Amino acid sequence: MRIPVIIGLVLFSLFLCMYSPCHASRSEIEYLQKMMNSQSSSLGSVLDANWKHLNSKDSFFSSMSIGQKDGSMEADKVDSLPRQPKGLEFNQYAGYVTVDAYSGRALFYYFVESPQDSLRKPLVLWLNGGPGCSSFGVGAMLELGPFRVNSDGETLYANEYAWNKVANIIFLESPAGVGFSYSNSTSDYKSSGDKRTADDTYMFLINWLERFPQYKGRDFYITGESYAGHYVPELADTIITKKKNINHTNINLKGIAIGNGYFDGVLNFKAMIDYIWTHALNSDETHEAILSTCNFTSGNFSEKCYNALISASMEIGNIDGYNIYAPICHVLPKAKNKTTSSMKEIDPCAEFYVIAYLNHPEVQQALHANITGLPYPWTVCSGLDWNDTPITMLPTIKKLIASGIRVWLYSGDLDIVCSVTSTRYFINKLNLTIKTPWRPWYTNEEVGGYVVGYEGLTFATVRGAGHMVPRNQPERALAMITSFLKGELPPIA
């Protein structure tokens, strides 16, 4: 379940030591420091330069092949996934869309329509973060898609709280280099970043709509989680700016919803420290030592600060930083026999079942995936060199609020990595007027979480969920996203 989040990744392995012997390495901390330094020093220029390209009638448009007929809806139709449960009636499609013909970059998508009345339902794009993690393997197969994988790594079971109950959903493996998405110029993997990810995703949408023309003009929402706290606002900004300049009306963007988003490196780090302490995961002494010795703004960590961070790591012990009260995966799945899984229990090893399933040749064939014979197996997350990342999403989110689209930030409250505290610090920086004060919301006569309606933005928590809200609290997550799509606050009772 490693979903690295630039700084989160480092801190996460630093604090939680899940994937390596339990001692924080100096190089991880140095990497963090380097990252923060480079972010701080380039802050001004990143903010200015980042979206400058959008305002020109751009070069990338002319070099791209918009609307090329390199595929068809019929060819992308998936009759059924190998060993999927019977009795589920909805259309599913999968395949590649070329986003850069010159380099040979193609993105893989999986699209599920709603079983009922799909023509009247909105179109939703789901993006996982990382950067480098798969929206198909994580988003569809562990979180909100119609199927999950049993512990045999062979058979599927139904997710009764799948989001395609309320929308038609595209899961996009992005950027190139993630999952089945690839580039024929492998040097592209060394030059990944926020800007190209937004451009490629935009090209994907334009071309995808040529393949699925019945979705042109349909109400469209962008959703995602974690580092998609960058992807989602950046893509929304790209769409809005392009629309102004190029008069594209095919993409009818109505809103965005981001879960446990990574919005601001400095706030996220500070929130992580506060979250750990307020959730009784480390000592008062260590917390005090971190606060008095670490300068999160400069990212220039003193020796004392390093030592305090290492103490915190030791004090926390071996827990899942993405869901502090969840079990961790101890038993390697190979040793396990099939158990039929349940929506009620989180199986912490489930990502291994997904890895096994998606690497079966017949599964890839059914999905029209890996048609070029990629020389490596499918993985949940890929290591990509990341070249541009603004340190904060504040200006972009402000712009989106001003544009009038619906903006929701939601948050599972058991996550350290992109904590609910981090989202609250970020929202406080926006200085918005409260329209509907903090109140509980309900599903099934239980408090599903809490919600605050601001002028231009809604903040909702999902109680008892970690980083991956629809995985941990599927029923509450579906209730929350249903309200989002309706443009209503989640239910009072």
Ligand X SMILES: *[C@@H]1O[C@H](CO)[C@@H](O)[C@H](O)[C@H]1NC(C)=O
Name which of 302 and 436 has its Cβ closer to ligand X.
Answer: 302
Distances (CA, A) of 440 to 112, 253, 411, 434, 492: 32, 29, 14, 15, 7
Stretch near ligand X under the rule CB under 6 A, chosen from 46-54, 364-372, 400-408, 437-445: 364-372
Among 194, 209, 180, smallest CA distance to 105 is for 180
The number of residues making up the chain comes to 493
- Looking at the DSSP bridge assignments, the partners of residue 110 are 94, 171
Which residues, 42 to 61, sit near ligand X by CB under 6 A? none
Stretch near ligand X under the rule CB under 6 A, chosen from 202-210, 212-220, 367-375, 442-450: 367-375
Distances (CA, A) of 33 to 11, 69, 271: 11, 46, 17
Question: Phi and psi (nearest 5°) for 351?
Answer: -65, -30
Among 295, 387, 428, 436, binds ligand X (CB under 6 A): 295
Among 25, 184, 185, 403, binds ligand X (CB under 6 A): 184
Do residues 141 and 357 touch, judged by C-beta distance below 8 A? yes
93 binds ligand X (CB under 6 A): no
The active-site residue out of 230, 287, 368, 467 is: 467
CB 429 to ligand X: min, Å: 8
Name which of 109 and 378 has its Cβ closer to ligand X.
Answer: 378
Radius of gyration of the chain from its Cα atoms, rounded to whole angstroms: 21
Among 399, 388, 402, 394, smallest CA distance to 45 is for 388
User: Which residue do the tokens 């239910």 mark?
Assistant: 491
Task: Give the C-alpha separation, 417 to 208, whole Å.
Answer: 33
Max intra-chain CA distance, the chain: 63
Could you confirm whether 174 is annotated as catalytic? Answer: no
CB 336 to ligand X: min, Å: 6
Among 204, 206, 189, 215, smallest CA distance to 98 is for 204
The active-site residue out of 194, 199, 264, 415 is: 415
Do residues 418 and 410 touch, judged by C-beta distance below 8 A? no
Name which of 58 and 315 has its Cβ closer to ligand X.
Answer: 58
Do residues 60 and 323 touch, judged by C-beta distance below 8 A? no
Stretch near ligand X under the rule CB under 6 A, chosen from 263-271, 290-298, 346-354, 448-456: 290-298
Pairing type for strands 252-259 and 406-412 reads parallel
Name which of 104 and 348 has its Cβ closer to ligand X.
Answer: 104
Among 55, 63, 245, 298, binds ligand X (CB under 6 A): 298
CB 40 to ligand X: min, Å: 7
Stretch near ligand X under the rule CB under 6 A, chosen from 3-11, 25-33, 259-267, 370-378: 370-378
**DSSP letter, residue 314:** H
Task: Give the C-alpha separation, 331 to 462, whole Å.
Answer: 29
CB 103 to ligand X: min, Å: 8
Which residues, 413 to 452, sit near ligand X by CB under 6 A? 431
Name which of 98 and 226 has its Cβ closer to ligand X.
Answer: 98
Size of the site for ligand X (CB under 6 A): 22
Residues in contact with ligand X by the rule CB under 6 A = 98, 104, 106, 180, 184, 247, 295, 297-298, 300, 302, 335, 337, 364, 370, 372-374, 376-378, 431
- Give the residue numbers annotated as catalytic, written as ranges: 226, 415, 467
